[in-house]
Amino acid sequence: QQQVKQSPQSLIVQKGGIPIINCAYENTAFDYFPWYQQFPGKGPALLIAIRPDVSEKKEGRFTISFNKSAKQFSLHIMDSQPGDSATYFCAASDRGSRLTFGEGTQLTVNP
Amino acid sequence: EPEVTQTPSHQVTQMGQEVILRCVPISNHLYFYWYRQILGQKVEFLVSFYNNEISEKSEIFDDQFSVERPDGSNFTLKIRSTKLEDSAMYFCASSALGTFSDTQYFGPGTRLTVL
C-alpha cells in the first residue's frame, strides 16, 4: 500500500514536445506529492510539488495534474528542451515523513 | 545557495568491513534522512532523524545500520558489516521543518561498492 507506481520507464521526445509522466498511488494518507529531477551522478532535486487539495499546479514549463479520486498524478513538461533530459521521479509522503518514490522515468529530449 | 554535502563521493570496501558515510546537512535544518538507490532502481527510504533520535526507519534499516549526529554539523550512516547487496548510491537529505509540503534537499550521494 506504500507503493507509488510510475510510467513510462523511458520516454523520448523531440525538442518542443510535451512529455507526460504518470504516477499512481494506493495509500490515501499521502498528502504531499513532489516530483524530483535527477541528472547522472547527482542527487534528486525538487522540481515541483502538489498537495491533494488542488487539481493542478504550474511552475514555469512544469505542470502537475492531480486526480484525487483516481489516486493518480502526472507531470507535464511544456516546450521540452534537450537540457530537460534527465530521470524524473514522482514521490509521495504522509505528514512530512519518509518519501516513497516511484520507479523513475528516463526522459530524452532530442534536439 | 546552501546545499547538502556528502563524503566520500565513492567508497570501495570489502564484504564484512564497516563503512561510515558522512553528510553535512543544510545548517538551519532540523530533520535528516538517508535514502539509497541501487543502480537502475528507485530511491528507497532508510531512516529519518530528529532531535538526536531516529524518528522513522524502513525495513531495510536493520541492526547492521546506525545513524549518528556526532557534532552540530555532521550526520553519519554506519554500516557495521557490509554485504554485497549494500552496494548502492546513498543519499543524505535534510529539511527545515519535517512537515508535509516541506522540501527535502538531497546531497550528491556516496557510491558504495562492496566487493
DSSP letters spanning B1-26? ----EEE-SEEEE-TT--EEEEEE--
The reported pLDDT for the residue numbered B40 is 84
Mean pLDDT throughout B10-30? 95
Interchain contact, B42 vs A101, CB within 8 Å: yes
Does B109 reach chain A within 8 Å, measured CB to CB? yes
To the nearest 10°, the Cα dihedral for A110, B36, B104, A33?
60
Q: In the predicted model, is pLDDT for residue B23 greater than 60?
A: yes
Tens digits of residue pLDDT in A19-60: 999 999 999 989 899 999 999 888 999 999 999 889 999 999
Could you read off the pLDDT of A60-84 as tens digits, one per residue?
999 999 999 999 999 999 999 999 9
Residue B94 in this model has a pLDDT that exceeds 80: yes
Whether the per-residue pLDDT at B107 is higher than 80: the answer is yes
**pLDDT at residue A92 is higher than 90:** yes
What does the longest C-alpha to C-alpha distance in chain B come to? 40
Please give the pLDDT value at position A41.
Answer: 83
Q: Which site among A99, A100, A103, A106 would you substitute to test the B interface, given the most B Cβ atoms closer than 10 Å to its Cβ? A: A99
In this model, does residue B101 exceed pLDDT 60? no
pLDDT at A100 over 70: yes
From B99's Cα to the closest Cα of chain A, the distance in A is 4
| Closest by Cβ to A98, choosing from B56, B91, B108 | B56
Mean pLDDT across chain B, nearest whole number?
92
In the predicted model, is pLDDT for residue B99 greater than 70? no
pLDDT reported for residue A49: 93
CB B20 within 8 A of CB B36: no
- Which single residue is written with the C-alpha cell 570489502? B14
Cα distances (angstroms) measured from residue A61 to each of A51, A80, B40, B96, B103: 19, 8, 27, 27, 20
Give the SS3 label for residue A7: strand
Q: What is the pLDDT of residue B24?
A: 96
